Amino acid sequence: MINYSVRPPARVGALVALAVTAVAVILFWSAAGGGQSASAVTSASVSLDAVSDGANTATSVGTIDSCRALAVGETAVLDLVIEDVSGLAGFEVDFLYDPAIVRVVTLTSTIEVDYNFLLASTLTSVIELGDALPDAGSGTFKLAAAQFPSSPVSGSGVLVRFKIEVVGSGSTDIALTNVKLSDGTGTPIPPSDTSNVYQGPINGATIASWPTPPGDDDCDGWSTVDEGTIGTNSDDACGFTAGGDPASGSWPPDLAESDSINIVDVLSLKPVFFTEVPPTSARYDIAPSGQINIVDVLRLKPFFGLTCS
């Protein structure tokens, strides 16, 4: 019997090897993040800057402050800023907040709000589509505007400058919801969902009517360093896990987990008064010293009767 074996020509074998190599290179390039994949495209970010200053203009954004302390009756100008956007011709944003603490008022006697960024292009005007001022006291307020004629703008700057007034004691987050960004043809700027709501980075701010120390990133009256010692969440001013350990909370004086400071919080210190930390939980040492004493009670006093929302 004669055995036959078929060997591919050398050229065919070389072509197969070359194809395999090419596929491997493509796979490696994709895994390394090469090419123009959607994930490699930088999304625009929309943020509320609690401190409007000279660094924020129609074409630039300075340091973004997510926290601001204001006394009752005081007003302040805030900037809604956008960074690294491409081809923007219109936007819509709903602001959510506690109406018992803040309200939106007119910017000046003649200007309700200032739409800086959309006016950065020449030969264009802006149609304001948001709610009337002052706000209706519902805790929600819409700001929206579009260019007509359309002359889309790109880059970073102040989308809208507006003013708030503190009307009550406490703290409130000003959240940004229902954010929609559009180009000049009515096409949503990606990433967006099926309702055209923007899915990129969105950051709100917190307004408090109590003093905030240096390094207080969440505007709850305690520095991030102290909250690390106490064990509370330094990323959120308010909130807790119902029925959980007080250490699950965010606001150091809220020992009774209610988002309001009252006699129950004060009396929560009584069973551990004059004890050392440890063995007592550091959660009760709200003026970190290693001991629960009168200083902790006095640290709580300025927040008595206030709420955080």
Q: Where are the domains of the chain?
A: 45-208, 231-303
Q: What CATH number has the domain spanning 231-303? A: 1.10.1330
Instruction: State the distance between the two ends of the chain, measured CA to CA, in whole angstroms.
Output: 91
> Do the strands 102-105 and 202-203 form a parallel or antiparallel pair, or are they unpaired?
unpaired
For the chain, helix (H) and strand (E) counts, in that order, are 4, 11
How far apart CA 140 and CA 137 sit, in angstroms, is 8
CB-based contact 47:188 (threshold 8 Å): no
CB-based contact 182:197 (threshold 8 Å): no
Collect all residues with Cβ–Cβ distance below 8 Å to 210 and sequence separation of at least 6. Answer: 69, 169, 171, 221, 302, 303, 306
- Of 96, 105, 97, the C-alpha closest to 165 is 105
**Integer-rounded Cα radius of gyration of the chain:** 27
pLDDT value at residue 122: 59
- Of 178, 196, 205, the C-alpha closest to 94 is 178
Taking only the tens of pLDDT, the chain with its 309 residues reads: 444 334 444 444 444 444 444 444 333 334 444 443 333 346 899 999 999 998 999 999 999 999 899 999 999 999 999 999 999 999 999 999 999 999 999 998 778 888 888 877 656 788 999 999 989 899 999 999 999 888 899 999 999 999 999 999 988 999 999 999 999 999 999 999 999 999 999 999 999 988 889 899 888 999 999 999 999 988 888 877 555 555 568 899 999 888 899 999 999 999 999 999 999 999 999 999 999 999 999 999 999 999 887
Collect all residues with Cβ–Cβ distance below 8 Å to 179 and sequence separation of at least 6. Answer: 46, 91, 92, 93, 94, 197, 198, 202
pLDDT value at residue 34: 42
How far apart CA 82 and CA 157 sit, in angstroms, is 6
Collect all residues with Cβ–Cβ distance below 8 Å to 271 and sequence separation of at least 6. Answer: none
Collect all residues with Cβ–Cβ distance below 8 Å to 84 and sequence separation of at least 6. Answer: 42, 43, 44, 45, 155, 156
Q: Please give the CATH topology (third level) of the domain spanning 45-208.
A: Immunoglobulin-like (2.60.40)
Looking at the DSSP bridge assignments, the partners of residue 91 are 145, 181
Common-topology check for domains 45-208 and 231-303 = no
